[in-house]
Amino acid sequence: MSTIDDTSGLKHLGSGKTSYAFHEPTADILEAFPNKYPNRDYQIRFEHPEFTSLCPKTGQPDFATIEITYIPDALCIETKSLKLYFTAFRNHGSFMETITNKILDDLVSVCQPRMMQVVALFNPRGGTSLTVTAEYFKDNSAPIETQF
């Protein structure tokens, strides 16, 4: 097996022409590349501590750390496109629960993992912090133990 990764389908990474969208998060921003080890179960974990969005009612900013853990199947999420996707929430007004589930749905639609978990740890606002966890299991398989 070749150890050279196929990057031919990636448009964001290395383009030198980064374009930011601050209000329209869509799955179209996300990119994936072929997993060189699709027959092996292994975890990939992303942690994005600088996530921002807006409250849909007040327009006040919400800040969070977004943690994503997944077991890839045929495809892996490309990191730069994930950063651009997160940036697209910056001026987007939506409830924290909706955001967490949208992130999960969009990522699953792009890479079809065996398992994925998105944990959104929102900073306290009004004296209350909020953590939302959303999970996906391909073919309704059993949850896989992960440590966060």
Tell me which of 6, 28, 41, 62 is the catalytic residue. Answer: 62
47 labelled binding-site residue: no
Asked if residue 81 lies in contact with residue 18, where contact means CB atoms within 8 angstroms, the answer is: no
55 is catalytic: yes
Structure tokens at 114: 């065996």
145 labelled binding-site residue: no
CA distance 37 to 75: 10
Burial 89-124 (b: 16+ CB within 10 A, else e): bbebbbebeebbebbbebbbebbebbbbbbbbbbee
Tell me which of 28, 55, 105, 139 is the catalytic residue. Answer: 55
67 labelled binding-site residue: no
24 labelled binding-site residue: no
- Which residues does the annotation mark as catalytic? 55, 62
Binding-site positions for substrate read 77-79, 96-97
Residues that constitute the known binding site: 77-79, 96-97
